Amino acid sequence: MIHHRFKNKRIGVLMGGLSSEREVSLKSGAAVCEALSRLGYTQIPIDVDRDIAATLKRERIEAAFIALHGRYGEDGAIQGLLEIMQIPYTGSKITASAIAMDKSRSYDIFRAHQLPTPDTLILNREEADLSPKKRAPFDFPVVVKPVSEGSSVGVSIVKNSDDFSKALKTAFQYGEEIVIQPYISGMEVHVGILDQKAIGAIEIKSKGVFYDYKAKYVPGMSTHIYPAPLPEKVYKTVLDLAEKTHNVIGCDSYSRVDFLVDKDMNPFILEVNTLPGMTETSLMPEMARENGLDFDMLVEKIIETASTAFGKRDAS
């Protein structure tokens, strides 16, 4: 049962922001605003900039639905500000947001909890002039990606040493550390978590080389198969692993955990998205629909979990 704690509150929908995922965030935010409006909530769309604290105060925001993606929105930064201002907000709290966004720290935690992940090398900018054979403990092809970006921004699949330097340069545009992993050929599977429980797994078939930015957000560039066509035992294993991953990172409310399942049906955890997309092509709303929750119901369920780290949310 939903208690509608925020029905008469001024809800700021935080969108846009300063990251490379700004355009996607604007679409997520617009969709959330429309849903809240249909549901009868007072929603105030806020395009987040460096004056966000003053804006929140001026608009007398009483709760925040975070529809931001990427740096400053998904990494604990905006969560810290909202904690200081004592404004309840959606999604995970500061620490879990920061850890999930930092792939280096995430993989450390995954390994510490014996969760299956690809072999991983973290490379900083000073080490980047070394040859891949000196640095990488695995053969080509490899995946190169930034440590702290989402939506597949800055990701390259490298098939030979000739393309390695270009991939490093691309990834280093987004931070001082990058991730290098062996390329795993297999099924791309994403698991939605809602109210701390896995709601299902969906397979993505991309028309490109992998599920990149274009495949994620351009209609028709990928095919979604729900439920993911995995053997029953593997399907259950993936759901269990997703819940464990969500919990060991310390996530709240909802998230999406991304996997690759290889040809031998071995699942590998790639990352946790603490603020999964809320656009018309996003996976979380699609999985919710398959479980009887339309978009408006999903948005309401999420906003009613809003809290600060110092104030536990009411049971719903």
| DSSP for 262-303, written as a single string | ETT--EEEEEEESS---STT-HHHHHHHHTT--HHHHHHHHH
- pLDDT number for residue 139: 87
| DSSP for 227-241, written as a single string | S----HHHHHHHHHH
- pLDDT number for residue 147: 86
Q: Which CATH architecture has domain 121-182?
A: 2-Layer Sandwich (3.30)
Over its length of 316 residues, how does the chain's per-residue pLDDT go in tens digits? 456 789 999 999 999 999 988 999 999 999 999 999 999 999 999 999 999 999 999 999 999 999 999 989 999 999 999 999 999 999 999 999 999 999 999 999 999 999 999 999 898 887 766 555 555 567 889 999 988 765 467 899 999 877 888 888 899 988 888 999 999 999 999 999 999 999 999 999 977 555 444 544 455 668 999 999 999 999 999 999 999 999 999 999 999 999 999 999 999 999 999 999 998 789 999 999 999 999 999 999 999 999 998 775 543 3
| DSSP for 69-104, written as a single string | -STTTSSSHHHHHHHHTT--BSS--HHHHHHHH-HH
- pLDDT number for residue 169: 87
Instruction: Count the neighbouring beta carbons within 10 Å of the beta carbon of residue 195.
Output: 12
The DSSP element (H or E) to which 252 belongs, if any, is none
Vertex 238 angle, CA 234 and 239, to 5°: 120
The encoded tokens of residue 64 equal 């925040």
- φ, ψ (nearest 5 deg) of residue 309: -65, -20
Q: What is the pLDDT of residues 214-258, one digit of tens each?
A: 544 455 668 999 999 999 999 999 999 999 999 999 999 999 999
Catalytic positions, written as ranges: 21, 151, 217, 256, 258, 271, 273, 277
- pLDDT number for residue 312: 57
pTM comes to 0.89
Q: Confirm if 123 and 180 have CB atoms less than 8 A apart.
A: yes
Single out the residue of 272, 278, 275, 274 nearest to residue 298, CA to CA: 278
- pLDDT number for residue 118: 94
Mode of pairing for the β-strands spanning 197-206 and 222-225: antiparallel
Please check whether the domain covering 10-90 is classified as CATH 3.40.50.20: yes
| DSSP for 6-73, written as a single string | TTTSEEEEEE--SSTTHHHHHHHHHHHHHHHHHHT-EEEEEE--TTHHHHHHHTT--EEEE---STTT
- pLDDT number for residue 83: 97
Q: Confirm if 118 and 268 have CB atoms less than 8 A apart.
A: yes
To the nearest 10°, report the CA torsion of 310, 311, 313, 315: 110
Single out the residue of 59, 27, 37 nearest to residue 46, CA to CA: 59
- φ, ψ (nearest 5 deg) of residue 231: -55, 145
- pLDDT number for residue 315: 37
* CA 183 – CA 177 distance, rounded (Å): 19
Ranges of each domain in the chain: 10-90, 99-116+185-290, 121-182
99-116+185-290 fold: D-amino Acid Aminotransferase; Chain A, domain 1 (3.30.470)
The encoded tokens of residue 267 equal 């699942």
- pLDDT number for residue 136: 56
Which residue's structure tokens are 């409006």?
Answer: 37
